[in-house]
Structure 1
Amino acid sequence: MDSKRKLRNSIVFIGGTLLGILLVLIPFDFNGAVDTVLFYYLKLFITHFNKPLRFIIMLLMVLSALGALYDNIAKPDWIRNNKLLKNILSTTPFYIANRILGALICVLVYFNIGPEFIISADTGSSMFGLATQLSILVPCMLLLQTLILECGAMEFLGELIGFIVKPIFKVSEMGAVSIISAWVGPGNAAILATQNLFEEGYYTVKEAAIIGSQFSTSSVGWIVLVSSVFGIMDHFATLFLVITLVGIIVAMVGVRIPPISKYPDTYVDGSLVSPVKKQENKDQSKLAFAYNSALQRADKVSIKNFTSKINNMLFYVIWLQPIIVCWGTLALIISMYTPILQWVSYPIELILKLTNVSEPAASASAIMSGFADNYLPVILGQNIMSVESRFIIAAMSILQIVFMSEIASLLTSTKVVKNFKDVLLVFVIRTFIALPFVILFAKILGLS
């Protein structure tokens, strides 16, 4: 590699990675609002243009449902022979029904008609609002995350510290960046990025499932939001540290037991060896080899690395969002309007009673409601008086990771996790492993 090309690749690697980190990962204080640069300005845009955006998202939901239904009935060549259209419109009758229900919910909410239990602020209206926001945030995140994932940082960290993640989390060295990105960035974007890297041959079936189910949290910005609503912003740094430490423990256990441990270590083509060629280090220091690996990756970066993300961006908005709205609304209705939540939260209530946590019944219901949506624990727990209890609920709402309104449906829809049963098991396992450690840390911290 000549000196000019090496300089160009160094600029791409260092400049691109730093720009991506600056825009996507690092939270800043914007006049009291703590968020990443990307999210802060996108949220301003969403707030300013909320009304037209709501109409556009509703229209896309309806077109998604009608397009999928038309494709299933007519099977037109102009859809089936187009890779992009086939990817976002061709699906099974089950998911078509989900799209139709999701689109119907959005129409009812937008025009404020229909049963209150569907369109209320706690159910369909909440999901439609979330869909409007995420339809802007996630595609932009997917696009700009390319700077971090494809300019050489993955290869650099993979060679430099990847040896740590392999024995601890059972993923290859290449997974180091994906794990960090999934932990501090939006989980939905991380799952789609992981699926994309799996399809490119970087990860095995098991590795993709591990990253998607064990590390796809709701981003630093979301933790800030939860802390703010719960009135525990003065404990934010402590909360984030506890979430990280307990998250490492839970992941270490989760990757070694079913269902994730039973996933095959095979790549997208079914082989046991990655189709992505990996250069071996023969005579360089680890740092020098990591840097050179990054430069080789940066040498391949072009505009195509960004334009290729359009498929996944449209897939998220048109394919997944109606399903997320459907499943999320149904989960919220069950949580808010039936006694099922009280029944399933009873084991958690017993644990909280045994450890002398205040308001155990209300806290347990708030914790278990996280399976429906990760903001539901905040809604149900914000009136709890004890700081300790609110701290525990806040930590658990992040650590559970899997929730029906988004991550659970995303994991199953993209086949990162095989089926709903496995998603449910992951949620239960993470909840019961994480809870004792979160309670222990809360007690050590002496919160009251």
Structure 2
Amino acid sequence: MFGSTTWENDEHVSGDSVDLDTKTIRDVRLIKKRPKPVLKFILAFGIGSFFFLFPIQWNGQTTIPLDVVVSLTQEAFPTFVEFLTLGLILAGGILTTISMANHHGIVTISDRTVDRFELDYWQTSNVFWIFRIVGIFLAIPIFIGQGPEWLLSENTSGIVWGGLLLTIALVIPIGAVFVNLLAELGGLQFVGALSQPVMKPVFNLPGRAALDSAASWLGSFSIGYYLTRNVFDRGGYDKREVFVICTCFATANLGTIGAIAAVLKILHVFPIVVLLYLLSVIITGIILVRIPPLSTVPNEFIAEPDPEPEFNGSVGDYSRFAFNEAIKTAEEGASIPSSAVNGLIDGVKLTGMMLGTVLTIGMAAVTLNEYTSVFEVLSTPLVPVLSAFGIPDPQMAATSVILGGAEMFIAATFAVGGDLITKVFVIIVVSGQAIFFAASAPMMVDMFDDIPIRFQDLFVLFVMRTVLLIPITAALVHAAVFMGLI
């Protein structure tokens, strides 16, 4: 399962064949800074950073302007959002069916039509073709409110459709606008160059990966995936780097953690929760990137490789180089309106591609949780472990941790009646698990099928992350209690 040949592909470019420059930043020839590209970079970076990365207080929670825009849109145009979600699921299933029928020779479509409707984009595996079709048959009765009780229950479709899909249908397209401003007009290069001295030695990742991490932590894991996919398609990441970023850094966003903290009534210790959460995710990532399966993924590129050059230099040197690379990219890039429109189009396509899959797998997970005791049974072996680590309410905490593999919000809120230490422990562990089989896992598998990211590998990584997070989080929580922070 973990051998490097699992992910290798003769059609892709091996990282071993890529010449990576190593020099001092002072060796780089700086371009002449003309006013127009400088202004373009500053505006694009300012707009993208504000809407996408800048933390603000809204309704008592720490979130970002993008989340506020999405929330206000959902409140002001609920019917539109419902129709948009259904339309994207229908479009994704129909276009995938046409593409797959052409691929399997069931129908013959001209190359002109294939190119015009970008049908190759919708080609996938037979399994995900089925998922997208099943998504249509689930979406229609949920949309019209006619169907069996298990389908329309607030604890099944109420969570997957109402709490997840309606948000994704807006978050990705709107977020893609600002992601594209950062990715195409210099923001990615600027952050990447500044972060390289930290990301490379600690996580063996290019500096630009810091932007993906920030996107997930301050925005949404789906936005983080989109940005990673964007850079991957441009040759900026190899397969191993994508796998590491998605499974180690695309964890829960601070807005969601804040919402869960509000439900658990622990907002009074929210800053401590965030600090412990970030520490736990970073420590877990440092360990996981150095062991299989992540360490065995080959350094292959699916596009012409464009890796970051490795530099030596002072802080001032890195700052000058970062600004230089940003301006160079902005000068070569499209206008701000064009980049925004291109991002919106890409975001809509990506959302249509994945919504049916997320609905199908998400409904399966929450239905199992609602109508069977499978998760409670699975959590039984964890109870003595959590007791040994001094976690109060160990059965409650164990069930929450296991439920985290299905859906984070359900898992965390299961501990609503627990002790304060239990609540803090649970919210950190389930938020840091990163691999949720009702949402992020199918999204990863579908979005990165050319690596390929597979469910069996994600399951193993989920177990590994959980095994690491439990002692790390327990130690951090007890340390915070000892220091009187909790």
Higher mean C-alpha displacement, 338-347 vs 323-332? 338-347
Query: Which of residues 138, 156, 165 is equivalent to 2:190?
Result: 156
Report the residue type matching 1:290 in the other structure.
A
Distance 2:394 2:229 in 1: 39
SS at match of 2:252: coil
Q: Is the 8 A contact 2:52 2:215 kept in 1?
A: no
Q: 8 Å contact 2:206–2:308 — kept in the other structure?
A: no
Cα distance in 1 for residues equivalent to 2:262 and 2:241? 34
1:213 and 2:241 aligned: no
Partner amino acid for 1:420? F
The amino acid that maps onto 2:474 is I
**What residue identity is the alignment partner of 1:172?**
P
Matched residue type, 2:210: A
Q: Deviations over 1:150-205 (max 9, x none)?
A: 33233223323312111211112332322333333211111121112111011111
Specify which structure has the bigger relative contact order, considering alpha-carbon pairs within 8 angstroms and separated by 6 or more residues.
2
Q: Cα RMSD between the aligned structures?
A: 2.5
2:96, 2:333 → 1: CA distance?
34
Contact 1:27 1:37 in 2 (8 A): yes
Q: 1: distance between equivalents of 2:119 and 2:446?
A: 15
Moved more, 156-165 or 301-310: 301-310
Change in 2 beyond 3 A, CA 1:90/1:374: same
- Per-residue CA shift, 1:215-239, capped at 9, x if unaligned? 0123221121111111111111111
Give the Cα–Cα distance (whole angstroms) in 2 for the partners of residues 277 and 342 of structure 1.
Answer: 46
Q: 2:25 aligns to what?
A: none
Closer/same/farther in 2, CA of residues 75 and 434 from structure 1, 3 Å limit: farther
In the other structure, the counterpart of 1:302 is: 334
The corresponding residue for 2:60 is 32
The 1:411/1:177 distance shift into structure 2, 3 A limit, reads same
> Is the 1:182–1:211 contact (alpha carbons within 8 Å) kept by the matching residues of 2?
no
**Higher mean C-alpha deviation, range 136-145 or range 70-79:** 70-79
Matching of residue 82 in structure 1 with residue 115 in structure 2: yes
What SS does the corresponding residue of 1:216 show, helix, strand or coil? coil
Deviation at 1:276, TM superposition (A): 5.7
In the TM superposition, residue 300 of structure 1 has moved relative to its aligned partner by 1.8
Q: Distance in 2 between matches of 1:84 and 1:117?
A: 37
The 5 A counterparts of 1:83-122 are 84-122=117-155
Give percent identity, aligned residues only.
20
SS at match of 2:462: helix
Quote the residue 1:444 is aligned against: 479
Partner of 1:9: 37
Q: TM-score, normalised by structure 2?
A: 0.84
For the Cα contact (< 8 Å) 2:252–2:431, is it kept in 1?
yes
1:157-306 mapped onto 2 (5 Å cutoff) = 157-269=191-303, 274-275=305-306, 285-303=317-335, 304-306=338-340
Give the match for residue 388 of structure 1: 421
The structure-2 alpha-carbon separation of the partners of 1:411 and 1:79, relative to structure 1 and needing over 3 Å to count, comes to farther
For 1:445 and 1:174, the matched residues in 2 are separated by 32
1:429 aligns with 2:461: no
Describe the shift of the 1:85–1:158 C-alpha distance in structure 2 as closer, same or farther (beyond 3 A): closer
The answer to whether the 8 A contact 2:55-2:218 is kept is no
TM-score by length of 1: 0.91
Query: SS in structure 2 opposite 1:29?
Result: strand
Q: Is the 8 A contact 2:31 2:324 kept in 1?
A: no
* CA displacement, residues 120-159 of structure 1 (integer Å, 9 cap, x when unaligned): 1111232111212210111111211223333323322332
Q: Which residue among 315, 323, 326 is the counterpart of 2:357?
A: 323
Cα distance in 2 for partners of 1:157, 1:67 equals: 37
**CA shift for structure 1 position 310:** 4.4
Give the drift of 1:78: 6.8
Per-residue CA shift, 1:31-57, capped at 9, x if unaligned? 535431121122111122112321332
Corresponding residue of 2:165:
131
- SS of structure 1 residue aligned to 2:301: coil
SS in 1 for 2:302: coil
Q: Measured at CA, do residues 314 and 83 of structure 1 come closer, stay the same or move farther in structure 2, by a change above 3 Å?
A: farther
User: Any conservation in 2 of the 1:206–1:265 contact (CA below 8 Å)?
Assistant: yes
Aligned length: 443
Q: Would you say the 8 A contact 1:198–1:204 is kept in 2?
A: yes
Pairing of 1:36-51 with structure 2 (within 5 A): 36-51=64-79
CA distance in 2, matches of 1:26, 1:348: 38
Structure 1 residues 266 and 92: alpha-carbon distance in aligned structure 2, compared to 1, 3 A threshold:
closer
CA distance 1:230–1:331, shift in 2 (3 Å):
same
**Which amino acid in 2 is paired with 1:122?**
N
Aligned partner of 1:343 in structure 2 is: 377
| More deviation, 252-261/8-17 | 8-17
**What is residue 369 of structure 1 aligned with on the other side?**
403
